[in-house]
Amino acid sequence: MNLSRRNALSLFGSAAGLPVIARSAHADTYPARPVRIIVGSVPGAAPDVIARLAADWLSRRFGQTFFVDNRNGASGNLAAEAVAGAAPDGYTLLLVSASDAINATLYQHLKFDILRDFAPIAGIVGFPMVVTVSPRFQAKTLPELIAYAKANPGKLNIGTPPVGSPQHVAGELFNMMSGTDIVFVAYRGGPQAITDALSGQVQGVIGTVLLTIEQIRSGGLHPLAVTGSSRSALLPDIPTVSTFVPGFEATQWVGLSAPKNTPPEIVDRINRELQAGLSDPATKTRITNLGGTTLPGSPTAYGKFAAGEVEKWGKVIKFANIKVE
């Protein structure tokens, strides 16, 4: 728990309270110069879009520029490494994603720890995924797919983005929790997986709602279930996976963190402004139109969520023996 200035002075005396006063003064003048949000994805990808949305909101709220710096490479690890080694002054932030929680176990020799080396600021958005199949495939519901997969172990092929992507590990989580043996075919990206599903090379795809929505609406893909904890506003008639596999939940989420030892007063200020943004009707509408749901909450709540994600995906990676080359 953070101590207020008054409590700090009363507990430790005026001399010991001076560092607290200095930190508070620093927070009062923050930000005095532009703030960099480093993103481990290419421009136009979902994390990048959300980072720019957050940067625009924070720039207007603080009256100072927040800008996005794309550091694509090594599945986001280059971006995280850059922020882990940055000064803890609030001027270099990291857009954290579900991939970072997955990478914590997937990669054995990282130069940082996504939990230990960062101060959580806030969750921002969760993007549910959707399990789809070709309309030509015999299963028309998720229970029918589960029954087929159990009767035909290793013979059902579902496409996903690359090995270790949120969609890929979500598929392996499904295998783990449903007792199925579906083969998840990892492609370089989601569009390639969709192309092969449309041509019959694989029987279906796990992708974000936004990526698959046009093919769903045109009839090219048949949706069975969404992976989030609630139904998607873009697919309100499609049930959740957890309806049939209790406890299942997987999202491609993004949040904001800073280097460890960033003053808590700065962390709290950024969090408050992000909460205001997430409750803004126009912002919420934009996020809904992108297929996402807001993830409001305190820095502590976000930190606990991220820790839970690292633990969950670590178990899945070990269960499925997922390796990266």
User: pLDDT digits over 196-247, tens only?
Assistant: 999 999 999 999 999 999 999 999 999 999 999 999 999 999 999 999 999 9
pLDDT at res. 324: 87
Residue 107 and residue 19 share a domain: yes
Mean pLDDT over residues 125-141, rounded?
97
Residue 170 and residue 108 share a domain: no
Domain boundary among 243, 259, 289: 243
Asked if residue 157 is part of any domain, the answer here is yes
Residue 51 and residue 30 share a domain: yes
Asked if residue 325 is part of any domain, the answer here is no
User: pLDDT digits over 63-102, tens only?
Assistant: 999 999 999 888 889 999 999 999 999 999 999 999 999 9
pLDDT at res. 14: 37
Structure tokens at 233: 């506003």
Structure tokens at 83: 């922020």
CA gap 196, 133 in Å, rounded: 11
Residue 161 and residue 298 share a domain: no
Residue 121 and residue 261 share a domain: yes
Q: Identify whether the C-beta of residue 51 lies closer than 8 Å to the C-beta of residue 39.
A: yes
Averaged confidence pLDDT in the chain: 91
Q: What is the CATH number of the domain that holds 97?
A: 3.40.190.150
- Does the pLDDT at position 12 exceed 50? no
Domain boundary among 243, 268, 301: 243
Domain boundary among 197, 217, 243: 243
| pTM (2 d.p.) | 0.89
Residue 91 and residue 21 share a domain: yes
Q: Where are the alpha helices (DSSP H) in 261-298?
A: 264-279, 281-289
- Does the pLDDT at position 13 exceed 70? no
Asked if residue 273 is part of any domain, the answer here is yes
Mean pLDDT over residues 285-301, rounded?
94
- Does the pLDDT at position 250 exceed 80? yes
Q: How far is it between the farthest Cα atoms of the chain?
A: 75
pLDDT at res. 26: 61
Residue 179 and residue 112 share a domain: no
- Domain residues for the domain of 212 are 128-243
Q: Nearest 5°: phi and psi at 70?
A: -80, 120
Domain count, the chain: 2
